[in-house]
Structure 1
Amino acid sequence: MTDRTTLPRETSPAETRAERRRLVESVRARRRLLAERGPFEVADRRRLDREARARDRAEARHGKELQRIHEKQVRHERSLTRSLDGLDGKRESRERKALAVLRRESVERALQGTRLTASQVNGIGNGLVRDLAAQGVRTAADFQRVSWGKAPNGKGGEILYIHRTRGRKVHVNGIGEHRGRPLAEWQRQARARAEARAPQELPADQRHRIAEIIEEERVRLQAELEEVPRTAETARAEARQRYEEEVERLAATEREAADEAARRRAEFDRMAEDLLALQAELGAHVDLFGDLGLRDRHARSRALRPLPAVAVIPAPRTPEPAPRPAVDLTKRDTTPGVRPSLGWLVPICFFGLTAVLGPGDDAAAPLWLRITGRLAALAVLAELLRLWIPRRRWRTASPLPSGTGLLATAVFLGLSSASMFADPEYAAGGAPWALAVGSVVLLVGGAACRAGSGKPGGASD
């Protein structure tokens, strides 16, 4: 910058004033530009806060995704484990069903082979046998039972109907009570003989085939169970990759914003240096030419006043592309870390309504029951919310303490029994006593489970 303070003494007053105005206006211009540094620093601080929140949100999303993957893995493993544990019972169930089908088929074949003849049923001759055959009743398998009913035309009173196995019920003229009972007894005896002759156990080949099917299912379930951790690990790797890509994108954006902020901050620094140089030049000009009047002093005082202090944010560190450490759910046990289900909202809503409306019929309940019931429901509601809400968060996910369900059910049964004792309609019966006993048993069991879970190494469910 040219040092204009070396002007000769014989410079005209007009030129001196013009130079003084130029210096004052230059100082003012720099001051106006530097006045933008305060809002810039505030905006840059807000930018840094937004970037920090964006990184925290990315980490929170990553943690929640890992939590969902972990819970899905635990649920799948538990389901497959239950299926594996139930295969023995499934084999027995299939054997029972197969034996039932085999016996039913044997009984059906035996009944179909038992033909109805005049010599087998007392009171039924060849004519009635032909009439029954015309209606589709030839063997013991063709009908199930006999019953009385009104005649189709509504006249003649009640008649005896024969319920066919396949088809509608029929009536044969000449078969009434005295002939219908022997016919039904003949069919019952034929069925009893067929059931007695039916096989009592499965053949060895069928048992072997069922065992092979169960073993194939066991192998399949075991393979699925072994595949679950690998699938979960793949899902975690994909989630980690998405998280790293998002962090890299945020880091690139932060680097660009940081470079732009550094450029603007360097511009402000250069402006501050220029302002100091201009102020020094103005001071030298004043020393050389002296005071030019009141207006000049006023303009100089405004131009030379100190700048407001601005809190300059230090240059932020350049974000690294590597992701920030996230919550590692892969090394946690399969039981902890699983959030309680949304089904707990049902007892929470029930106790909330009970705390507001009271137990049972609030108008007919005595005062002590209304007050005690509301207080008990409010206490259980507060305890459930205290236990349930923090455990639904992914950072503090864990199952509810053991015995919580038993204690909640005990309070529910206790309130129900108290309201029934207060109602004269139920007070004399045994239902309120049964509910009271059940409430006490569940209360003791829940307290024991809670005490056991509170000890070191206590289990929780």
Structure 2
Amino acid sequence: MTDSTTISPPSTRAATRAERRRLVESVGAHRRLSAGRRSFELADLRRLNREAGRRARAEARRGKALQRIHEKQTTRERSLTAKLNGLDGKRAAKERQALAVLRRESIERSLRGTRLTTSQVNGIGGGLVRDLAAQGITTAADFRRVSWGKAPSGRGGEVLYIHRTQGRKVHINGIGEHRGRPLMEWRRAAVARAEARAPQELPADERHRVEEIIENERIRLRDELAEVPKDAEAARAEVEQLHAEHLATLAARERDALEEASLRRAEFDETADRLLTLRAELAAHVELHGDLGLRERRARSRALRPVPAALPAIPAQRSRRHTPEGTGAHAEPGDSGAAPGTSGAAQAAPAASGVPEGAGVRAGLGWLVPVAFFGMTTVFGAGETDDSPLWFAVSARLVALAVVAGLLWLWIPRRRWRTARPMPAGTGWLVSGVFLGLVAASMFTDGAERDGGAPWALAVVAVLLVLAGVGLRSSRGRNDSASD
């Protein structure tokens, strides 16, 4: 019995061949359309991975910006607090400075009031007083000291020079050692009297002025310190707003891409259903009319070749997991995701919802120190002597080279912003243990230090450090596995 859906037999052989040709060409065309599904699914998988990468980079930038704000806030608060705590010392310093200025001004006034006369300096008469006045020296404030030097003409012996307070040194004919010494004693006595008369304490009005300056500074620093958290909070709010806007933009782009992918996937589903229908019609046509020749069989075999397998897990599970909140996208009931290939799709889905712990925190540049040290050990060895065996020299260099390679393998990806993370826990313990182990091994190969207890102590400490590093690495790995 023939099914009611089958095509009724054509009236002529030509019509049968034409109908067969139409069915074969339709099956071939739909097969070629369905063959593009695998490429589409792979492209969609790459799209989802790119979206997850964009979200991870956005979170890393946000974390980096928040970390900078926190560091800036902490530094500013520490600086302002230190300034507030140092205001008392600053007040005392300002008072000492103000008192020193008052004393200096008082001494200057007193010296300017002490005039040089013949009655005050022994051995200096009216003529020398006039000669000194002609050179601008009339009071004790006009010169500072006397010294010996060559005569201005360059001939003869040394003469006495008087160093003026403002200006160059001068020589007065008639003033030598016998008259220069009394002149300096007169000035020292005038300075001593001026210092004794100068104020020893800061007046009340000056002290009040300094206190007012310090209090105004304290109020300003307190206000500035109170503004630091507000500024930091405003900066964080700005970062969060920019991050939210960026995420919204990403979500809109992801939503549009998901809708386009869903439409494309629906077209592939429709094509697959149509291909099944055409194959059923072709099978019914062959059953009804039989074989129509070699050429028809070849065309039919090409059209009925199997379609390359697609990735059935991507449409259902990956799209649903990766869909941002609020998009309303959901999987169709008929889409199941139990086929192989689900693992690669499912692994990228958690990355879209968050970033790894420590993202945005790059490994420090301090790790270059052990890299440089073990690199030099690889070239120059670990302290070998002439008595060191060859196996120790080779083994030490190989161990150092392995440490350098391992550190660079861990450190370089963690310096890039896209994959920024801290160094694994326990790495420092392991590096320190290997370093002490090399030192202990070099001491064991040295005949002078072999019999002492230092090599054994270093070896024990090296073993403990290596065990501690391995324990930290393994416990961190178990915690990561449990969290996954």
TM-score by length of 2: 0.68
1:326 to 1:239, Cα distance in 2 relative to 1, 3 A: farther
1:211 to 1:155, Cα distance in 2 relative to 1, 3 A: same
Matched, 1:7 2:21: no
Whole-Å separation in 2 of the counterparts to 1:154 and 1:96? 47
Unpaired segments ≥5 residues, structure 2:
328-351, 387-396, 424-484
Q: Which residue number corresponds to residue 254 of structure 1?
A: 254
Q: Which residue number corresponds to residue 71 of structure 1?
A: 71
Q: Deviations over 1:174-233 (max 9, x none)?
A: 111111111112111211121122111101111111111111111111111111111111
Q: Which residue number corresponds to residue 274 of structure 1?
A: 274
Q: Which residue number corresponds to residue 457 of structure 1?
A: none
Q: Deviations over 1:69-113 (max 9, x none)?
A: 000000000000000000000000000100110110011011111
Shift of 1:355: 8.2
Q: How does 1:368-379 map to 2 (within 5 A)?
A: none
* AA matched with 2:7: T
Contact 1:62–1:326, Cα closer than 8 Å, also in 2: no
Q: Deviations over 1:305-336 (max 9, x none)?
A: 3322211312524313799679999xxxxxxx
* AA matched with 2:165: T
* AA matched with 1:286: V
Contact 2:162–2:169, Cα closer than 8 Å, also in 1: yes
Q: Which residue number corresponds to residue 218 of structure 2?
A: 218
Contact 1:63–1:327, Cα closer than 8 Å, also in 2: no
Q: How does 1:375-386 map to 2 (within 5 A)?
A: none
Q: Which residue number corresponds to residue 314 of structure 1?
A: 315
Q: Deviations over 1:327-379 (max 9, x none)?
A: 999xxxxxxxxx9999x86x97699589849xxxx9xx9979xxxxxx9xx9x
Q: Deviations over 1:231-276 (max 9, x none)?
A: 1111111110000000000000101111111111111111111111
1:251 to 1:321, Cα distance in 2 relative to 1, 3 A: farther
Whole-Å separation in 1 of the counterparts to 2:384 and 2:132? 71
Q: Which moved more, 1:144-153 or 1:274-283?
A: 144-153
1:18 to 1:327, Cα distance in 2 relative to 1, 3 A: closer
1:221 to 1:325, Cα distance in 2 relative to 1, 3 A: farther
Whole-Å separation in 1 of the counterparts to 2:17 and 2:154? 133
How much is the aligned-residue C-alpha RMSD, in angstroms? 3.7
Q: Which residue number corresponds to residue 176 of structure 1?
A: 176
Contact 2:99–2:202, Cα closer than 8 Å, also in 1: yes
* AA matched with 1:243: H
* AA matched with 2:282: L
TM-score by length of 1: 0.71
Q: Which residue number corresponds to residue 418 of structure 1?
A: none
Q: Deviations over 1:267-291 (max 9, x none)?
A: 1111111111110110010011011
Q: How does 1:396-411 map to 2 (within 5 A)?
A: none
Contact 1:255–1:319, Cα closer than 8 Å, also in 2: yes
Whole-Å separation in 1 of the counterparts to 2:375 and 2:106? 62
* AA matched with 2:89: G
Whole-Å separation in 2 of the counterparts to 1:5 and 1:391? 68
Whole-Å separation in 2 of the counterparts to 1:55 and 1:201? 68
Contact 2:362–2:421, Cα closer than 8 Å, also in 1: no
Whole-Å separation in 1 of the counterparts to 2:36 and 2:142? 103
Unpaired segments ≥5 residues, structure 1:
330-338, 369-374, 398-461
Contact 2:151–2:158, Cα closer than 8 Å, also in 1: yes
Matched, 1:85 2:117: no
Counterpart secondary structure, 1:146:
strand
Whole-Å separation in 1 of the counterparts to 2:416 and 2:99? 48
1:391 to 1:131, Cα distance in 2 relative to 1, 3 A: farther
Q: Deviations over 1:139-158 (max 9, x none)?
A: 00000111111222311222
Q: Aligned residues: percent identity?
A: 63
Q: Which moved more, 1:78-87 or 1:223-232?
A: 223-232
* AA matched with 1:27: V
Whole-Å separation in 2 of the counterparts to 1:208 and 1:66? 44
* AA matched with 1:110: S
Shift of 1:119: 1.3
Q: Which residue number corresponds to residue 345 of structure 2?
A: none
Q: How does 1:42-191 map to 2 (within 5 A)?
A: 42-191=42-191
Whole-Å separation in 1 of the counterparts to 2:115 and 2:188? 14
Counterpart secondary structure, 2:7:
helix
Whole-Å separation in 2 of the counterparts to 1:213 and 1:150? 52
